Amino acid sequence: MKKAGSCKVENTAVSKWEELFEQRSRRRREALQAKSEKNSFELAFCGHFSAGKSSVINDLLGHDILPTSPIPTSANIISIKKGDVALELVDQDGGRQKWEQEIPWDKARKWGMDGNAIKEMTIFGPFPFLHEHAAIIDTPGVDSTDPDHQKITASQLFTTDMIVYVTDYNHVQSETNIEFLQQLSREKKPIVLVINQIDKHNNNELSIQSFENAVRNMLAKSNIRILSLFFTSMKEENHPLNQKQDFTRFVKSVLYYSESLIAPSVKALETAAVYDLLEQLEDEEEEAWEKWEEEIRAEGIDPAALQKIDSAEDDRSKEEAEKKEKLSHTAKERKQILENAILFPHTTTEKAKAWLESMDPGFKTGGLIKSKKKIEAEREKREAELCADLNEKIKKQMVFHLRDLLNQMETYDEKRFDENKEAIQQLSFEADSAFLRSFISSQTTDRRFLYTFMEQVSQSTARHLKTQSSDLFDMLQDAVKDYYETCADRQKQEAEQSASYEQRWGQWKETKQQFENKKQAAKNWLHQNESKELQEQIEQVSVQEAPRDIPEMQIVQETESLISTEEYTEETAAVKQMDESIIPAVESYLEKFMEKPLFQNEKQALSREVHQFKNHHIKISLFGAFSAGKSSFINAMLGSNVLPVSPHPTTAAINRVLQSDDTHDHGTVDLHLKEESFLDKEIQAVSKEIGENWTFHTLKNWKRPSGQQANARLRTYYQHLYTLQQSINRYKQDLGTKKTILLDELQEWVAQEEKASMIKEVIVYYDCEWTRKGLELIDTPGVNSIHGRHTNVAFEQIRQSDAIFYVTYYNHAFSKADQIFLQQLNRANESFSQDKLFFLINASDLADSPAELNGVKSHVRDQLKRNGFQSPRLSAVSSKQALADKEGGRTAVSSGFQEFETQFTNSVWHDLRSSHLASIQDRMRSIADELQRTLKTMNTNQAGLEEKKRKQEAVVREKKDELTELSLRPHLPAFLQEIDEQCAYLIDRVTFGMNDYFTMAVNPAVISASSKKQQKEQLRNGIREIDGFVRQFVMQEKETLHIRIESFVKQKTLQVMKQKVDKWREDLPLLDLPEIEWKEWTSSIAFPSLEEETYAAMFRSSRDFFENKVNMEMKQQASDDIRSQMNAIVKKYQQELEKETTEMTDDLDKRTSEGFEQQLNDELERLEWLYDINKKPYIEEETKWLEAEFEKQ
C-alpha cells in the first residue's frame, strides 16, 4: 500500500487568489473584492484618543472639519474625499442623507461622535492634493473601551491601503500602541509613525537623538516595521523639532499620486489576506486533528498508537540497533574501567618506591647501629601508607565506576536490580600486605623492578574485580537484552493491533494532506505574487511635488465647542478669617491656674486642645493614576520641586511631606526600606498574577520568560518580579532598615528602578507655608492591580485623612479601574461626617481655549456624577504653571491654583480649625459658668452648703447606677441589618464588576496569536487577569464595607453618648463625652477564582470562540461561577463580621461605661473641694479673672 504521506504536491500551477479561500474569510474576501472594484486608495489615521489624531488631519486639510477634544470624540469611521462640498451620512439601518454646499458643520462634528445612530460619515471637499480615487479615513481611538469602536477600527484594516499612526510624545511606548502597531505589521501595512506634541520634549533631560534611538529600538525589538517617522507639534508651529511641514508634504504627495499605488496596494492586501489564510489553515488543521482524536478515543483507540503505524518498522530496527549499541557500550565501558585505571600516580608511585626500598634485605633506616625492631617498624609504616593510598585509588578509579555501571541495571529491570543492589554495593577490593608481598622476590626489589611491580599490581587488581563483578555484569547485560526484547514484543503487539486501524490512520493522513495541499497552494501564490512594490512606490511618489493650496470652505467658527460648555462656577470667596485672640487668653489662664486643684481634668483637656490647635496637623492624601501628576501637584503646593517624578509605575512607595522637627532637619529624607516579610507578601501576590507561586526565598530560582507572546499585563508583572529579584540580591543586607539622606539624593533612589522597588515609605521633611501650618501631604501609590496588596494601606489613608485629593490628567479619561475605585471611594466618603473629597484636573494649561477647558470640566463632572458623586468639588489646575509662578514670586492665578487653594482653605482648613476653636471657647465658657454657680452656692450658710453637697453626691451616685442601663445592645440589630444589606449588595457588585471587566480581558484584540496553542494561553492569561481583577475588587469592596460599618457604629455610639451627656449635663454641666479609641474592623474575606482549564477547554479556535458566541457562553458561566462562590464566601464573611461587630459593640459598651464612670468618680472628688467654704477665695480669684477676660473678648 502506498503511504499517503509520501505523495508530493506538484508545483505546476498557481491558484487564483479567489480560489485559495473557498468559503473562508468571506467577510474579508468580499471586502477586498469590493475595494478592488471601487478602485480606491485609502489612507487611515489611527491612534489613541488623546494623541491629537483629528488635529493632525485638520491641519493637513487646512480646516477644522473633524471634531477635536481632549475627551474621546470619533465614534465611527469618517471618510474625507475630493469633490464639491458635501456631507453624506449612513445610519445604522442603512438609511442615507446628503447635504450639498450648505453643510450643518456644527451638527456634523457631533454626528462624528455619535457611534450609536451613525454608521458611516463621508465629507467631500475641493482638496487639491486628494486624487479623485483617494480617501482619508479617521478611525475611533485604538484604546477605546467601547467594543463597537474596537470592532470598527479592526475591520477597517482589511481594506486600508496605508496607515498614519499618531501617538503623543508621552505615550509612544505604551503597550496599547505597541500591540496595535504589531497587529498592523502582521497585516503587512505600510505605516507612517507620527509622534505628536513634540513640544513636550525637554532637551535638557534627554537629547532628541537619544529619544529617537529609543523609539526605533522599541520598534525593532517589537518586530514593527515603519516607512517613516515624523515629529510634529500642532501648537508650536516654529518649534525646532517640528517636522509638520515634512509630514504634510509626504502625505499630500502620496495622496496626490495615489492612482499609481492602487494596483500594488491591492496586491499587498491580497498578500496579507493569504498570510492570514495560512494561519487559518494551521488553526483548522489543529481543530481537525483534535476532532479526529476525540472520535477515535471514543472508539477506544489510542491516537499515539496510530501515529506509530508509519514508523513501526523503523522503530523496531532502531531499537534493535540501540540494544546492540548498549550491550557493546557497557562491555566497552567495563573494559575501560579495568584497563585504564591509573592506580599509581606520582604520589602513590613514590610510596611504592619507598616500600620496595624498605623490603631490600640490606635496608637501613640511617645511623651506624639500627635494631631489627626499628627496621621492621619502618617497613610496616611504609607498607601501611602504600596500602592506604593504593586502596583509595582502587576505590575511586575502579570500584566506584564499576558500581555506577552496574547501577544502570535499575533503568532496565528494577526487580533484578533490587535483588542485586546489596551485591553491587559490596563490590570492592583492598590490597593488603600479603597481596603486595606476593609480587616480591629477594632478588627483585631494586629500582628497576618498581615499574614491573606497579604493572603487576594493576593487572592483578583488575582480574580480581573482573572476576568478582562477572556475574553482576552478566545480569546487567541480561537486563538490557530483556528490556529491548520486551519493547520489541510490545511493538509487535502494537503493530498487529494498529494494522486493524490503518484505515482510520489513512483517513487522517488524507485529511492532513488536503491541508498540506492548500497551504502549499497559498505558499506557491505568495512565491509568485508577493513583492515590496507598494512600499517602493510610496517612497518614490512621496518625494514628488503635490499641490499645497488650501481650498476655500465655509466652516463653523472655531469657538463652537463639541462638548457641553455649560459653565459651573464653584463658589469661591476670599479666605475666611478666624478670631484666634482667645488662644493667648486661654494660655494665660492655664499658666496662672493650672496647678490649682479645681477642675483639674477640664483644664488638662483644655490644655490638650490648645496644644492641638497651635500644632494643628491636617493630613491630605492624594489618589489618582500613575501619570496623573500627583507628585507635580504636591510640588506646586510646596512651591518647589521637592518630590521627584517616578518613571516607574510598578513602584509603590508612600511619600509623605511634612514640617521639620527637633529630630529632623529641613531638607532631609527618611527612606524606610521594605522588610523581608513585606517583600514575601509582595512576591507571592505578583507571582500569583502570572499563574505561578514564588516566595522571598525561592524567587532567586525564577527565570524570566522571554515575554514575546505575553500581553502588556504579563510583561508588567514579569518586569516587576525581575526587578525585585535583582534588587533583593543587591540590597539584601539593607532590608527593613531606615536610611536618612538629603533631599538632593532622593532623585537617584527614585530614578533607579532597582532602588525604587525596595522603598516602602518616603518621609520628606520640608518647611514651607503649608507645612508650617501643619499640613501633611501624602502621595499614595494608587489602587490598581499590581499593587492590590496595598489596598488596606490606601483605605487606611482614606480613613485617617482630613481631605482627599483625587487627581486626573487633563486629557486622560477614567479607566474602568478608576471608575470602580471612584464608586467605592464615594460610598466610603458618604459614611464620613464631612465630605473629604476634592477632584482636580491637572495640566489645564493644555487647553486650547477657555471653552475647551470648561468642556473638559463638564465632561469630568458628568463622569463623576455617573459614578455616584452628586455635587463633586472640581477644580482645573496647572501644576506646571503654578510651580513656575510660585518659584518666580508671582501669584498663581492663571494656573487655577490660587482659586483651588482658597476653596480648600475655606472648606477644609478653616472649617477644621474653626470647629476646634469653637470647642476651646465652649470648654472655657463651661468652666467659667461652673465657677460662677459654685461661687453662688458658697454664699449660702454652712448647713445649706452641706445639704447641697449631699444632694449633688446623690445625683452623681444616681448617674453611676444608671450606667448599667447605658448599652449599645439595643442598636445591635440595626448594626447587623446594615451588615446584611451591605453583604447582599457585595455579591451583586462583584458579579456585575466581573461581567463588565470580562470583555476587557477576553476579546479579539487580546486573543490574537497566530497559533491555537498561543491563543489558548492568551485565554488563560485573560482568565488570570479576571481573577486578579476580582481579587482586587473584593479587597476594595471589603475595605469600603468596613469603613461604612465602622462609621455607622461610631455615629450611633456618639449619638447614644451625646444623648446621655445632654441629659446629665442638666445636673453635671462639666460632664463630657468620654474619649474612646476607635478600633477598625478586621474580618477577612476569601476570594473567588475561575478554574483556568475549565474555561480553556471551551476554546476550539478564535473564529469559533467569537463568531459562534462561545465567549458570551463563557462570560455567563464565569458570572454564574463567581456568584455561586461569592454566595458561600459572603455567608462565611458575614458570620465573621457579625461576630466581630457583636464583640465590638460589647467592647464599646464597656469602654463607654468606664469613661463615664471615671468622670463621675472625678466629680465626687471635685465636690469635696467645691463645697469647702475655705476654698472660696481661690474660686473668687479664678472667677474674676475669667470674667475680666471674657469682657475683653
Three-class secondary structure assignment of 320-334: HHHHHHHHHHHHHHH
What is the structure's pLDDT at 554? 55
Give yes or no: residues 1129 and 1149 share one domain: yes
Whether the per-residue pLDDT at 279 is higher than 90: the answer is no
Task: Provide the pairing of β-strand 654-658 with 759-765.
Answer: parallel
The pLDDT tens digits for 701-715 are 999 887 555 666 787
Task: Give the residue with greater pLDDT, 570 vs 518.
Answer: 518
Give which of 600, 601, 652 is closest to 626, Cα–Cα. Answer: 652
The pLDDT tens digits for 49-65 are 667 888 899 899 888 77
What is the structure's pLDDT at 679? 93
Task: Give the residue with greater pLDDT, 7 vs 135.
Answer: 135
Answer yes or no: is 861 within a domain: yes
Report the range of poorest mean pLDDT among 85-99, 499-513, 919-933.
499-513
What is the structure's pLDDT at 762? 93
Answer yes or no: is 265 within a domain: no
What CATH number is given to the structural domain containing 884? Answer: 3.40.50.300
Q: Average the pLDDT over 850-870 and give the result.
A: 85
Whether the per-residue pLDDT at 1017 is higher than 60: the answer is yes
Q: Average the pLDDT over 987-997 and give the result.
A: 91
pLDDT band at 7 (very low <50, low <70, confident <90, very high): very low
Asked whether 261 and 254 are in contact (CB, 8 A), the reply is yes
CA quadruple 995, 996, 1000, 1001: dihedral positive or negative?
negative
Amino acid at 1188: A
Last residue of a domain, which of 834, 861, 895?
895
Amino acid at 11: N
Q: Average the pLDDT over 1069-1079 and give the result.
A: 79
Nearest-angstrom CA–CA distance, 768 and 666: 10
The pLDDT tens digits for 633-676 are 999 999 998 988 655 555 567 899 999 999 999 999 999 999 99
Answer yes or no: is 355 within a domain: yes
Phi, psi of 198, rounded to the nearest 5 degrees: -65, -15
Last residue of a domain, which of 451, 484, 499?
499
Which residue do the cell numbers 479645681 mark?
Answer: 598
Give yes or no: residues 699 and 622 share one domain: no
What is the structure's pLDDT at 13? 44
Answer yes or no: is 749 within a domain: no
Report the range of poorest mean pLDDT among 369-373, 662-666, 1138-1142.
369-373
Task: Provide the pairing of β-strand 775-779 with 654-658.
Answer: antiparallel
Task: Give the residue with greater pLDDT, 818 vs 344.
Answer: 344
What is the structure's pLDDT at 693? 92
Task: Give the residue with greater pLDDT, 839 vs 153.
Answer: 839
24-28, 102-106, 395-399, range with greatest mean pLDDT: 395-399
Count Cα neighbours of 22 within 13 Å in the Cβ-side half-sphere: 9
Nearest-angstrom CA–CA distance, 161 and 268: 8
Answer yes or no: is 969 within a domain: yes
What is the structure's pLDDT at 147? 43
Q: Average the pLDDT over 611-629 and give the result.
A: 82
Answer yes or no: is 745 within a domain: no
Answer yes or no: is 751 within a domain: no
Give yes or no: residues 656 and 720 share one domain: no
Asked whether 301 and 309 are in contact (CB, 8 A), the reply is no
Whether the per-residue pLDDT at 238 is higher than 50: the answer is yes
Which residue do the cell numbers 562477572 mark?
Answer: 470
What is the structure's pLDDT at 559? 40
Nearest-angstrom CA–CA distance, 395 and 429: 8
Q: What letters, b where the CB count within 10 A reaches 16 and e where it falls short, cover 803-821? A: bbbbbbbbbbbbeebbbbb
Q: Average the pLDDT over 878-883 and give the result.
A: 88
Give yes or no: residues 669 and 683 share one domain: no
Which residue do the cell numbers 519493547 mark?
Answer: 487
Is 0.75 surpassed by the pTM of this model? no
- The three three-digit cell numbers of residue 20, written as one number: 485559495
Report the range of poorest mean pLDDT among 9-13, 126-130, 881-885.
9-13
Residue 935, beta-bridge partner list = none
Q: Average the pLDDT over 745-774 and give the result.
A: 89
Q: Is 186 exposed, middle or buried (0-12, 13-18, 19+ CB in 10 A)?
A: middle
Give yes or no: residues 985 and 1036 share one domain: yes
Nearest-angstrom CA–CA distance, 591 and 607: 10
Q: What letters, b where the CB count within 10 A reaches 16 and e where it falls short, cover 348-387? A: beebbbebbebbeeeeeeeeeeeeeeeeeebbeebbeebb
Asked whether 110 and 17 are in contact (CB, 8 A), the reply is no
Report the range of poorest mean pLDDT among 732-741, 787-796, 859-868, 1035-1044.
787-796
Give yes or no: residues 945 and 847 share one domain: no
Give yes or no: residues 1085 and 1012 share one domain: yes
What is the structure's pLDDT at 330? 86
Nearest-angstrom CA–CA distance, 137 and 724: 45
Give yes or no: residues 1006 and 1060 share one domain: yes
Domain housing 686: 675-735
Asked whether 793 and 665 are in contact (CB, 8 A), the reply is no
Whether the per-residue pLDDT at 3 is higher than 50: the answer is no
Answer yes or no: is 519 within a domain: no
What is the structure's pLDDT at 792? 62
What is the structure's pLDDT at 575? 47
What is the structure's pLDDT at 1125? 96
Whether the per-residue pLDDT at 618 is higher than 70: the answer is yes
Q: Average the pLDDT over 679-686 and give the result.
A: 90
Task: Give the residue with greater pLDDT, 610 vs 146.
Answer: 610
| Strand, helix or coil for residue 841 | strand
What is the structure's pLDDT at 649? 55
In SS3 terms, 397-429 reads as: HHHHHHHHHHHCHHHHCHHHHHHHHHHHHHCCC
Question: Which 8-state DSSP code applies to residue 877?
Answer: -
Asked whether 119 and 164 are in contact (CB, 8 A), the reply is no
Count Cα neighbours of 963 within 13 Å in the Cβ-side half-sphere: 19
Give yes or no: residues 464 and 481 share one domain: yes
Please name the residues in contact with 424: beta carbons below 8 A apart, sequence gap of 6 or more. Answer: 403, 406, 407, 409, 472
Cα–Cα distances in angstroms (integers) from residue 685 to residues 638, 682, 720, in the given order: 35, 5, 11
Whether the per-residue pLDDT at 40 is higher than 50: the answer is yes
Give yes or no: residues 891 and 944 share one domain: no
Task: Give the residue with greater pLDDT, 806 vs 315.
Answer: 806
Give yes or no: residues 363 and 321 share one domain: yes
Task: Give the residue with greater pLDDT, 907 vs 282.
Answer: 282
Query: Considering the chain, what percentage of its residues have pLDDT values greater than 90?
Result: 20
Task: Give the residue with greater pLDDT, 479 vs 155.
Answer: 479
Give yes or no: residues 684 and 783 share one domain: no
Q: Average the pLDDT over 806-827 and give the result.
A: 80
What is the structure's pLDDT at 142? 64
Please name the residues in contact with 684: beta carbons below 8 A apart, sequence gap of 6 or more. Answer: 693, 694, 695
Maximum pairwise Cα distance, the chain: 142
Amino acid at 990: V
| Domain total in the chain | 5
Residue 1170 host element (H or E)? helix 1110-1170
Which residue do the cell numbers 533490587 mark?
Answer: 418
What is the structure's pLDDT at 444? 58
The pLDDT tens digits for 541-551 are 888 887 766 66
Packing angle of the helix pair 816-830, 791-800 (nearest 10 deg):
40
Whether the per-residue pLDDT at 1161 is higher than 70: the answer is yes
pLDDT band at 1128 (very low <50, low <70, confident <90, very high): very high
Q: What is the dihedral of CA 678, 683, 689, 690, to 10 degrees?
A: 180
Q: In what order do the strands lie in the sheet with 118-125?
A: 96-100, 86-91, 118-125, 77-82, 134-138, 41-47, 162-168, 191-196, 228-231
- The three three-digit cell numbers of residue 481, written as one number: 537484552
Task: Give the residue with greater pLDDT, 175 vs 621.
Answer: 621
Q: What is the CA radius of gyration of the chain?
A: 43
Please count the other Cβ atoms lying within 10 Å of the Cβ belonging to residue 514.
Answer: 13
Phi, psi of 1069, rounded to the nearest 5 degrees: -60, -25
Asked whether 155 and 183 are in contact (CB, 8 A), the reply is no
Q: Average the pLDDT over 930-949 and give the result.
A: 77
Nearest-angstrom CA–CA distance, 240 and 221: 29
Query: Considering the chain, what percentage of its residues have pLDDT values greater than 70?
Result: 85
Average confidence score pLDDT of the chain: 82
